[in-house]
Amino acid sequence: MRTIKRGGEYELHVKKSRFICALARVADEDEARAFIAERRRAHWSANHNCSAYVLGPGGEVQRSSDDGEPSGTAGVPMLEVLRQRGLTDTAAVVTRYFGGVKLGAGGLVRAYGAAVSAALDEVGVLERRTLLVVEVGADYQRAGRLESDLRDSRYPVRGVRYGEGVRIEAAVPEDGLAKFRAWLAEATGGGASCEVTGTAVVEVEPGGAAGGGGEF
């Protein structure tokens, strides 16, 4: 699944009507409903504040509202854009200020969907991947360079702990573990340990960082 990088908004003009799409990251239905209510208060004089949101690890919770527009012409196309993009934990509200020209059912469907799509392009999205959490251990002599190399790599550093030695947690795709171990041995002359301690969900650029078998 994916989610948006950040909240934001985008304004689209269609035949004198203004369609203002606001997006937010939300963790549950209470947060989604609060965001929708906030947008309605901010745009209380608008003709419509239509909404859609998707929640859950697999996007199981899906809700939409036409808010007075003809049934199926606003909330449903908004929700469909979120679904097509594979998004979750994301809420969208499109505020419409009517410009005096009727768009018809097809025009409304296209306008509401386009507003959400343009807003998503504006804020950007991140992929959520379940990766292995690997704890790398090194002495202080090697740790500084090793941490720097890891932070410059395609593998997210999740934390660093200092004690008798240095323990660095990195996220590695399962199919890239062998390559990671080989790189680590070469980079440290075999002077670092490597242990898989669990898994974690990590947000990364689509098709980018933390990709399987990625180069350092």
In a domain, 215, yes or no: no
Other beta carbons less than 10 A from residue 133's beta carbon:
17
Same domain for 57 and 142, yes or no, is: no
Same domain for 115 and 23, yes or no, is: yes
Same domain for 143 and 186, yes or no, is: yes
Predicted pLDDT of residue 76:
97
Contact between 22 and 92 (Cβ < 8 Å): yes
Same domain for 32 and 114, yes or no, is: yes
163: CATH: 3.30.70.240
Predicted pLDDT of residue 203:
85
Range of the domain at 200: 128-204
Question: How many domains does the chain contain in total?
Answer: 2
Contact between 141 and 189 (Cβ < 8 Å): no
Predicted pLDDT of residue 209:
47
Predicted pLDDT of residue 208:
55
Cα–chain center distance at 118: 15
Same domain for 104 and 21, yes or no, is: yes
Residues 6+ apart with CB under 8 A from 132: 171, 172, 173, 174, 177, 196, 198, 199
Residue 48, strand partner residues: 96
Same domain for 117 and 132, yes or no, is: no
Provide block-wise average pLDDT over 10 residues at a time, the chain (216 residues): 95 96 97 98 97 95 97 97 97 97 96 98 92 90 85 83 88 90 87 90 70 37
User: Last residue of some domain: 95, 123, 151?
Assistant: 123
In a domain, 76, yes or no: yes
Same domain for 59 and 152, yes or no, is: no
81: CATH: 3.30.230.30
